[in-house]
Structure 1
Amino acid sequence: MSRFFRIYTKLLAKYPLGMQALQAGALLGLGDQIAQNYIEKRSAKNLDLIRTAQFAGIGFFIAGPATRTWYGILDKYFGSKGVIVVLKKVACDQLLFAPVFIAILLSTIALMQGHNLKSTKLKLKNEYTDILINNYKLWPIVQLLNFYFVPLHYQVLVVQAIAILWNTYISYRTNRDNYKIYSINRN
Protein backbone atom coordinates (compact mmCIF):
# COMPACT_ATOMS: atom_id res chain seq x y z
CA MET A 1 0.00 0.00 0.00
CA SER A 2 2.83 2.41 0.77
CA ARG A 3 4.22 1.93 -2.75
CA PHE A 4 0.82 2.79 -4.22
CA PHE A 5 0.59 5.87 -2.00
CA ARG A 6 4.08 7.03 -3.06
CA ILE A 7 3.16 6.68 -6.74
CA TYR A 8 -0.14 8.46 -6.11
CA THR A 9 1.66 11.29 -4.28
CA LYS A 10 4.15 11.74 -7.13
CA LEU A 11 1.39 11.80 -9.73
CA LEU A 12 -0.65 14.17 -7.58
CA ALA A 13 2.30 16.56 -7.33
CA LYS A 14 2.95 16.40 -11.06
CA TYR A 15 -0.69 16.41 -12.26
CA PRO A 16 -2.84 17.76 -9.40
CA LEU A 17 -5.95 18.60 -11.39
CA GLY A 18 -5.81 15.48 -13.54
CA MET A 19 -5.29 13.11 -10.64
CA GLN A 20 -8.07 14.67 -8.63
CA ALA A 21 -10.37 14.52 -11.66
CA LEU A 22 -9.54 10.81 -12.10
CA GLN A 23 -10.14 9.97 -8.46
CA ALA A 24 -13.41 11.92 -8.38
CA GLY A 25 -14.58 10.14 -11.53
CA ALA A 26 -13.69 6.73 -10.14
CA LEU A 27 -15.32 7.41 -6.78
CA LEU A 28 -18.53 8.86 -8.24
CA GLY A 29 -18.79 5.80 -10.46
CA LEU A 30 -18.19 3.59 -7.42
CA GLY A 31 -20.94 5.39 -5.51
CA ASP A 32 -23.36 4.71 -8.36
CA GLN A 33 -22.38 1.04 -8.43
CA ILE A 34 -22.93 0.76 -4.68
CA ALA A 35 -26.38 2.32 -5.13
CA GLN A 36 -27.26 -0.10 -7.92
CA ASN A 37 -25.87 -3.20 -6.19
CA TYR A 38 -26.78 -2.67 -2.55
CA ILE A 39 -29.69 -0.24 -2.46
CA GLU A 40 -31.47 -1.08 -5.70
CA LYS A 41 -30.30 -4.72 -5.45
CA ARG A 42 -29.78 -5.06 -9.19
CA SER A 43 -28.33 -8.26 -10.52
CA ALA A 44 -25.08 -8.11 -12.48
CA LYS A 45 -26.92 -8.46 -15.80
CA ASN A 46 -29.24 -5.55 -14.93
CA LEU A 47 -26.61 -3.00 -13.93
CA ASP A 48 -26.92 0.30 -15.76
CA LEU A 49 -23.32 0.80 -16.86
CA ILE A 50 -24.22 3.88 -18.87
CA ARG A 51 -25.52 5.50 -15.68
CA THR A 52 -22.28 4.56 -13.92
CA ALA A 53 -20.24 6.03 -16.79
CA GLN A 54 -22.29 9.22 -16.57
CA PHE A 55 -21.60 9.52 -12.85
CA ALA A 56 -17.91 8.87 -13.47
CA GLY A 57 -17.95 11.54 -16.17
CA ILE A 58 -19.53 14.04 -13.80
CA GLY A 59 -16.76 13.29 -11.31
CA PHE A 60 -14.02 13.54 -13.92
CA PHE A 61 -15.23 16.65 -15.74
CA ILE A 62 -17.06 18.56 -13.01
CA ALA A 63 -16.63 17.40 -9.39
CA GLY A 64 -12.88 16.75 -9.34
CA PRO A 65 -11.79 19.92 -11.16
CA ALA A 66 -14.35 22.13 -9.39
CA THR A 67 -13.46 20.86 -5.94
CA ARG A 68 -9.71 21.10 -6.53
CA THR A 69 -10.04 24.62 -7.90
CA TRP A 70 -12.35 25.69 -5.05
CA TYR A 71 -10.00 24.39 -2.36
CA GLY A 72 -7.13 26.24 -4.03
CA ILE A 73 -9.15 29.46 -4.00
CA LEU A 74 -10.03 29.02 -0.32
CA ASP A 75 -6.39 28.34 0.52
CA LYS A 76 -5.19 31.34 -1.47
CA TYR A 77 -7.59 33.80 0.16
CA PHE A 78 -7.78 32.42 3.69
CA GLY A 79 -4.54 30.49 4.19
CA SER A 80 -4.23 27.00 5.60
CA LYS A 81 -3.64 27.21 9.35
CA GLY A 82 -5.67 28.20 12.36
CA VAL A 83 -9.13 27.68 13.75
CA ILE A 84 -10.52 30.97 12.39
CA VAL A 85 -9.16 30.16 8.92
CA VAL A 86 -10.83 26.74 9.02
CA LEU A 87 -14.15 28.23 10.18
CA LYS A 88 -14.04 30.79 7.35
CA LYS A 89 -13.30 28.05 4.82
CA VAL A 90 -16.13 25.85 6.06
CA ALA A 91 -18.56 28.78 6.06
CA CYS A 92 -17.64 29.71 2.47
CA ASP A 93 -17.68 26.08 1.38
CA GLN A 94 -21.10 25.39 2.83
CA LEU A 95 -22.79 28.73 2.13
CA LEU A 96 -21.34 29.47 -1.31
CA PHE A 97 -19.93 26.35 -2.95
CA ALA A 98 -22.29 23.61 -1.72
CA PRO A 99 -25.60 25.20 -2.82
CA VAL A 100 -24.28 26.07 -6.28
CA PHE A 101 -22.47 22.76 -6.74
CA ILE A 102 -25.52 20.72 -5.73
CA ALA A 103 -27.68 22.66 -8.21
CA ILE A 104 -25.14 22.04 -10.98
CA LEU A 105 -24.79 18.36 -10.02
CA LEU A 106 -28.54 17.72 -9.94
CA SER A 107 -29.10 19.60 -13.20
CA THR A 108 -26.32 17.69 -14.93
CA ILE A 109 -27.67 14.35 -13.73
CA ALA A 110 -31.20 15.25 -14.86
CA LEU A 111 -29.99 16.33 -18.30
CA MET A 112 -27.95 13.12 -18.64
CA GLN A 113 -31.08 11.16 -17.75
CA GLY A 114 -32.74 12.74 -20.77
CA HIS A 115 -34.85 15.35 -19.02
CA ASN A 116 -35.63 18.52 -20.91
CA LEU A 117 -35.17 21.93 -19.32
CA LYS A 118 -38.71 22.06 -17.91
CA SER A 119 -38.52 18.64 -16.25
CA THR A 120 -34.98 19.39 -15.04
CA LYS A 121 -36.32 22.46 -13.24
CA LEU A 122 -39.11 20.35 -11.73
CA LYS A 123 -36.61 17.68 -10.62
CA LEU A 124 -34.49 20.42 -9.02
CA LYS A 125 -37.54 21.83 -7.27
CA ASN A 126 -38.45 18.40 -5.90
CA GLU A 127 -34.96 17.24 -4.82
CA TYR A 128 -32.73 20.24 -4.18
CA THR A 129 -33.90 21.30 -0.72
CA ASP A 130 -33.82 17.81 0.80
CA ILE A 131 -30.39 17.10 -0.65
CA LEU A 132 -29.03 20.47 0.53
CA ILE A 133 -30.39 19.85 4.05
CA ASN A 134 -28.78 16.40 4.08
CA ASN A 135 -25.57 18.02 2.84
CA TYR A 136 -25.59 20.19 5.98
CA LYS A 137 -25.94 17.09 8.17
CA LEU A 138 -22.69 15.60 6.86
CA TRP A 139 -20.32 18.01 5.17
CA PRO A 140 -19.68 20.79 7.71
CA ILE A 141 -18.08 18.37 10.18
CA VAL A 142 -16.18 16.59 7.39
CA GLN A 143 -14.87 19.91 6.12
CA LEU A 144 -13.92 21.13 9.59
CA LEU A 145 -11.72 18.06 10.02
CA ASN A 146 -10.51 18.13 6.42
CA PHE A 147 -9.48 21.79 6.39
CA TYR A 148 -7.92 21.58 9.85
CA PHE A 149 -5.92 18.34 9.61
CA VAL A 150 -5.36 17.54 5.92
CA PRO A 151 -2.80 19.23 3.64
CA LEU A 152 -4.36 20.98 0.62
CA HIS A 153 -3.15 18.44 -1.94
CA TYR A 154 -4.96 15.59 -0.12
CA GLN A 155 -8.20 17.43 0.71
CA VAL A 156 -10.02 16.38 -2.46
CA LEU A 157 -9.04 12.75 -1.82
CA VAL A 158 -10.43 12.89 1.71
CA VAL A 159 -13.67 14.47 0.52
CA GLN A 160 -14.01 11.99 -2.33
CA ALA A 161 -13.38 9.04 0.01
CA ILE A 162 -16.15 10.24 2.34
CA ALA A 163 -18.22 11.07 -0.71
CA ILE A 164 -18.47 7.42 -1.71
CA LEU A 165 -21.40 7.23 0.70
CA TRP A 166 -22.67 10.66 -0.37
CA ASN A 167 -22.40 9.69 -4.06
CA THR A 168 -24.35 6.51 -3.32
CA TYR A 169 -27.07 8.65 -1.75
CA ILE A 170 -27.07 11.11 -4.68
CA SER A 171 -27.21 8.27 -7.20
CA TYR A 172 -30.11 6.60 -5.43
CA ARG A 173 -31.90 9.88 -4.81
CA THR A 174 -31.64 11.07 -8.41
CA ASN A 175 -32.63 7.67 -9.82
CA ARG A 176 -35.50 6.81 -7.46
CA ASP A 177 -38.10 6.95 -10.21
CA ASN A 178 -35.99 4.63 -12.39
CA TYR A 179 -35.46 2.33 -9.39
CA LYS A 180 -39.21 2.10 -8.78
CA ILE A 181 -39.76 1.13 -12.44
CA TYR A 182 -36.91 -1.42 -12.23
CA SER A 183 -38.39 -2.94 -9.03
CA ILE A 184 -41.84 -3.28 -10.59
CA ASN A 185 -40.44 -4.87 -13.77
CA ARG A 186 -38.20 -7.22 -11.76
CA ASN A 187 -41.15 -8.70 -9.86
Structure 2
Amino acid sequence: MFRLWKWYQNCLTFHPVKTQVISSAILWGTGDIAAQYVTHSAAKTHLQTSQDAEKEFKINWKRVGITSMFGFGFVGPVGHMWYEGLDRFIRLRLQLRPKSAKFVGAKLAMDGLIFGPLDLIVFFSYMGFANGKDASEVKEDLKRDVFPAFMLTGTVWPIIQVANFRYVPVRYQLLYVNLFCLLDSAFLSWFEQQNDAPWKQWFTSFNPFNEK
Protein backbone atom coordinates (compact mmCIF):
# COMPACT_ATOMS: atom_id res chain seq x y z
CA MET A 1 0.00 0.00 0.00
CA PHE A 2 2.86 2.37 0.83
CA ARG A 3 4.49 1.67 -2.53
CA LEU A 4 1.19 2.32 -4.28
CA TRP A 5 0.86 5.64 -2.47
CA LYS A 6 4.42 6.64 -3.40
CA TRP A 7 3.72 5.69 -7.01
CA TYR A 8 0.57 7.83 -6.99
CA GLN A 9 2.47 10.77 -5.51
CA ASN A 10 5.10 10.44 -8.21
CA CYS A 11 2.45 10.37 -10.94
CA LEU A 12 0.73 13.37 -9.40
CA THR A 13 4.00 15.30 -9.32
CA PHE A 14 4.98 14.70 -12.94
CA HIS A 15 1.57 14.20 -14.57
CA PRO A 16 -0.99 15.97 -12.33
CA VAL A 17 -3.86 16.39 -14.80
CA LYS A 18 -3.43 12.98 -16.42
CA THR A 19 -3.35 11.32 -12.98
CA GLN A 20 -6.48 13.13 -11.83
CA VAL A 21 -8.30 12.30 -15.07
CA ILE A 22 -7.52 8.57 -14.97
CA SER A 23 -8.25 8.16 -11.26
CA SER A 24 -11.55 10.03 -11.68
CA ALA A 25 -12.59 7.78 -14.56
CA ILE A 26 -11.83 4.62 -12.56
CA LEU A 27 -13.66 5.78 -9.45
CA TRP A 28 -16.75 7.02 -11.31
CA GLY A 29 -16.96 3.79 -13.30
CA THR A 30 -16.66 1.76 -10.12
CA GLY A 31 -19.36 3.88 -8.52
CA ASP A 32 -21.71 3.20 -11.41
CA ILE A 33 -21.21 -0.56 -11.04
CA ALA A 34 -22.13 -0.19 -7.37
CA ALA A 35 -25.22 1.81 -8.33
CA GLN A 36 -26.31 -0.85 -10.81
CA TYR A 37 -25.93 -3.54 -8.16
CA VAL A 38 -27.93 -1.55 -5.61
CA THR A 39 -30.69 -0.92 -8.16
CA HIS A 40 -30.75 -4.61 -9.12
CA SER A 41 -30.90 -5.75 -5.50
CA ALA A 42 -33.66 -3.29 -4.66
CA ALA A 43 -35.68 -4.33 -7.71
CA LYS A 44 -35.47 -8.01 -6.76
CA THR A 45 -37.31 -7.36 -3.52
CA HIS A 46 -40.26 -5.95 -5.48
CA LEU A 47 -40.47 -8.55 -8.25
CA GLN A 48 -43.55 -10.70 -8.27
CA THR A 49 -42.46 -13.81 -10.18
CA SER A 50 -39.81 -16.23 -9.00
CA GLN A 51 -38.38 -16.33 -12.53
CA ASP A 52 -37.66 -12.58 -12.46
CA ALA A 53 -36.40 -12.74 -8.91
CA GLU A 54 -33.77 -15.29 -9.90
CA LYS A 55 -32.27 -13.13 -12.65
CA GLU A 56 -28.54 -12.76 -12.21
CA PHE A 57 -26.92 -9.38 -11.85
CA LYS A 58 -25.26 -8.35 -15.11
CA ILE A 59 -23.18 -5.23 -15.41
CA ASN A 60 -24.25 -2.77 -18.07
CA TRP A 61 -20.79 -2.02 -19.40
CA LYS A 62 -22.09 0.63 -21.78
CA ARG A 63 -23.43 2.58 -18.84
CA VAL A 64 -20.18 2.07 -16.92
CA GLY A 65 -18.27 3.43 -19.90
CA ILE A 66 -20.55 6.45 -20.18
CA THR A 67 -20.21 7.25 -16.48
CA SER A 68 -16.44 6.69 -16.55
CA MET A 69 -16.18 9.21 -19.37
CA PHE A 70 -17.89 11.78 -17.17
CA GLY A 71 -15.13 11.30 -14.62
CA PHE A 72 -12.53 11.32 -17.38
CA GLY A 73 -13.81 14.32 -19.31
CA PHE A 74 -15.27 16.54 -16.61
CA VAL A 75 -14.50 15.64 -13.00
CA GLY A 76 -10.80 14.95 -13.56
CA PRO A 77 -9.69 17.99 -15.58
CA VAL A 78 -12.27 20.50 -14.35
CA GLY A 79 -11.96 19.36 -10.73
CA HIS A 80 -8.19 19.69 -10.90
CA MET A 81 -8.40 23.25 -12.22
CA TRP A 82 -11.20 24.14 -9.81
CA TYR A 83 -9.42 23.18 -6.59
CA GLU A 84 -6.12 24.69 -7.68
CA GLY A 85 -7.80 27.89 -8.85
CA LEU A 86 -10.10 28.16 -5.85
CA ASP A 87 -7.16 27.95 -3.47
CA ARG A 88 -5.20 30.62 -5.35
CA PHE A 89 -8.21 32.93 -5.58
CA ILE A 90 -8.98 32.82 -1.87
CA ARG A 91 -5.34 33.11 -0.79
CA LEU A 92 -4.24 35.80 -3.24
CA ARG A 93 -7.37 37.75 -4.14
CA LEU A 94 -9.34 37.53 -0.91
CA GLN A 95 -6.12 37.34 1.11
CA LEU A 96 -7.51 34.99 3.72
CA ARG A 97 -5.16 33.04 5.93
CA PRO A 98 -4.97 29.36 4.88
CA LYS A 99 -6.73 26.92 7.21
CA SER A 100 -8.52 29.74 9.05
CA ALA A 101 -12.27 29.59 9.63
CA LYS A 102 -12.90 32.35 7.06
CA PHE A 103 -10.66 30.61 4.53
CA VAL A 104 -12.47 27.29 4.92
CA GLY A 105 -15.87 29.01 4.98
CA ALA A 106 -15.17 30.92 1.76
CA LYS A 107 -14.02 27.75 0.01
CA LEU A 108 -17.04 25.86 1.28
CA ALA A 109 -19.47 28.53 0.09
CA MET A 110 -17.94 28.86 -3.38
CA ASP A 111 -17.63 25.11 -3.84
CA GLY A 112 -21.20 24.47 -2.76
CA LEU A 113 -22.80 27.32 -4.68
CA ILE A 114 -20.73 27.22 -7.88
CA PHE A 115 -19.09 23.86 -8.50
CA GLY A 116 -21.78 21.74 -6.82
CA PRO A 117 -24.71 22.86 -9.01
CA LEU A 118 -22.49 22.92 -12.12
CA ASP A 119 -21.41 19.33 -11.47
CA LEU A 120 -25.02 18.16 -11.18
CA ILE A 121 -26.20 20.04 -14.27
CA VAL A 122 -23.35 18.70 -16.38
CA PHE A 123 -23.81 15.15 -15.04
CA PHE A 124 -27.54 14.89 -15.74
CA SER A 125 -27.22 16.67 -19.10
CA TYR A 126 -24.37 14.42 -20.18
CA MET A 127 -26.10 11.23 -19.04
CA GLY A 128 -29.26 12.24 -20.88
CA PHE A 129 -27.57 13.03 -24.18
CA ALA A 130 -25.26 10.02 -23.91
CA ASN A 131 -28.30 7.77 -23.57
CA GLY A 132 -29.93 9.15 -26.70
CA LYS A 133 -32.33 11.71 -25.27
CA ASP A 134 -33.09 14.93 -27.11
CA ALA A 135 -32.78 18.45 -25.73
CA SER A 136 -36.39 18.68 -24.52
CA GLU A 137 -36.11 15.37 -22.65
CA VAL A 138 -32.84 16.42 -21.05
CA LYS A 139 -34.45 19.69 -19.98
CA GLU A 140 -37.24 17.76 -18.26
CA ASP A 141 -34.66 15.52 -16.57
CA LEU A 142 -32.84 18.57 -15.25
CA LYS A 143 -36.06 20.04 -13.87
CA ARG A 144 -36.84 16.73 -12.21
CA ASP A 145 -33.41 15.72 -10.93
CA VAL A 146 -31.11 18.66 -10.21
CA PHE A 147 -32.94 20.24 -7.29
CA PRO A 148 -33.58 16.99 -5.35
CA ALA A 149 -30.00 15.84 -5.94
CA PHE A 150 -28.65 19.22 -4.84
CA MET A 151 -30.71 19.11 -1.65
CA LEU A 152 -29.65 15.56 -0.80
CA THR A 153 -25.95 15.91 -1.60
CA GLY A 154 -25.96 19.30 0.11
CA THR A 155 -26.54 17.61 3.44
CA VAL A 156 -23.36 15.53 3.12
CA TRP A 157 -20.76 17.31 1.00
CA PRO A 158 -20.30 20.36 3.26
CA ILE A 159 -19.19 18.07 6.09
CA ILE A 160 -16.77 16.25 3.79
CA GLN A 161 -15.40 19.47 2.35
CA VAL A 162 -14.79 21.12 5.72
CA ALA A 163 -12.25 18.40 6.49
CA ASN A 164 -10.89 18.62 2.95
CA PHE A 165 -10.30 22.37 2.95
CA ARG A 166 -9.04 22.41 6.53
CA TYR A 167 -6.62 19.48 6.61
CA VAL A 168 -5.87 18.17 3.09
CA PRO A 169 -3.08 19.74 0.97
CA VAL A 170 -4.40 21.27 -2.26
CA ARG A 171 -2.65 18.75 -4.52
CA TYR A 172 -4.52 15.91 -2.79
CA GLN A 173 -7.91 17.59 -2.49
CA LEU A 174 -9.31 16.15 -5.71
CA LEU A 175 -8.11 12.67 -4.70
CA TYR A 176 -9.88 13.12 -1.36
CA VAL A 177 -13.03 14.23 -3.17
CA ASN A 178 -12.74 11.40 -5.68
CA LEU A 179 -12.63 8.81 -2.91
CA PHE A 180 -15.95 10.13 -1.68
CA CYS A 181 -17.05 10.42 -5.31
CA LEU A 182 -16.94 6.64 -5.35
CA LEU A 183 -20.03 6.91 -3.17
CA ASP A 184 -21.28 10.07 -4.86
CA SER A 185 -21.08 8.55 -8.33
CA ALA A 186 -22.92 5.49 -7.06
CA PHE A 187 -25.57 7.76 -5.57
CA LEU A 188 -25.95 9.94 -8.69
CA SER A 189 -26.03 6.92 -11.00
CA TRP A 190 -28.66 5.29 -8.79
CA PHE A 191 -30.51 8.61 -8.55
CA GLU A 192 -30.55 9.01 -12.34
CA GLN A 193 -31.95 5.49 -12.75
CA GLN A 194 -34.93 6.24 -10.50
CA ASN A 195 -36.69 8.25 -13.23
CA ASP A 196 -40.01 9.60 -11.88
CA ALA A 197 -39.90 8.04 -8.42
CA PRO A 198 -42.55 9.48 -6.05
CA TRP A 199 -39.95 10.76 -3.59
CA LYS A 200 -38.34 12.78 -6.39
CA GLN A 201 -41.68 14.41 -7.13
CA TRP A 202 -42.01 15.31 -3.46
CA PHE A 203 -38.67 17.13 -3.54
CA THR A 204 -39.52 18.77 -6.84
CA SER A 205 -42.70 20.23 -5.36
CA PHE A 206 -40.46 22.48 -3.22
CA ASN A 207 -38.32 23.57 -6.17
CA PRO A 208 -38.57 27.39 -6.42
CA PHE A 209 -37.44 27.25 -10.06
CA ASN A 210 -40.33 25.10 -11.23
CA GLU A 211 -42.68 26.70 -13.68
CA LYS A 212 -46.12 27.22 -12.23
Alpha-carbon offset, residue 38 of structure 1: 3.0
For residue 78 of structure 2, what is the aligned residue in structure 1? 66
For residue 14 of structure 1, what is the aligned residue in structure 2? 14
For residue 133 of structure 1, what is the aligned residue in structure 2? 151
Counterpart of 1:160, as a letter, is N
Alpha-carbon offset, residue 45 of structure 1: 6.4
Distance 2:89 2:146 in 1: 29
Greater share of residues in helix: 1
Counterpart of 1:34, as a letter, is A
Distance 1:161 1:144 in 2: 15
Q: What does the per-residue CA deviation read over 1:128-167, in whole Å, with 9 as the maximum and x for residues that have no partner?
A: 1100101211111111110100001111111111111111
Distance 2:84 2:56 in 1: 40
Distance 1:16 1:106 in 2: 27
Q: Which of residues 157, 164, 174 is equivalent to 1:146?
A: 164
Change (3 A) 1:68 1:44: farther
For residue 49 of structure 1, what is the aligned residue in structure 2? 61
Q: Where does structure 2 lack aligned partners over 5 or more consecutive residues?
A: 42-53, 92-97, 196-212
Identity %: 27
Q: Which of residues 186, 192, 199 is equivalent to 1:168?
A: 186
Which secondary structure state, in structure 2, belongs to the residue aligned with residue 137 of structure 1? coil
Change (3 A) 1:20 1:44: farther
For residue 51 of structure 2, what is the aligned residue in structure 1? none
**Aligned residues: CA RMSD:** 1.7
For residue 115 of structure 2, what is the aligned residue in structure 1? 97
Counterpart of 1:36, as a letter, is Q
Counterpart of 1:62, as a letter, is F
For residue 113 of structure 1, what is the aligned residue in structure 2? 131
Distance 2:40 2:77 in 1: 29
Query: Contact 1:31 / 1:164 at 8 angstroms: preserved in 2?
Result: yes
Distance 1:43 1:156 in 2: 38
Count of residues in correspondence between the two structures:
178
Q: Where does structure 1 lack aligned partners over 5 or more consecutive residues?
A: 178-187
Distance 1:105 1:25 in 2: 13
Counterpart of 1:122, as a letter, is E
Between stretches 79-88 and 50-59, larger displacement belongs to 79-88
Counterpart of 2:150, as a letter, is L
Between stretches 127-136 and 75-84, larger displacement belongs to 75-84
Larger Rg: 2
Distance 2:180 2:124 in 1: 19
Query: Contact 2:37 / 2:57 at 8 angstroms: preserved in 1?
Result: no
Query: Contact 1:21 / 1:59 at 8 angstroms: preserved in 2?
Result: yes
Counterpart of 2:79, as a letter, is T
Q: Which of residues 69, 75, 78 is equivalent to 2:90?
A: 78
Query: Contact 1:37 / 1:43 at 8 angstroms: preserved in 2?
Result: no
Query: Contact 1:11 / 1:19 at 8 angstroms: preserved in 2?
Result: yes
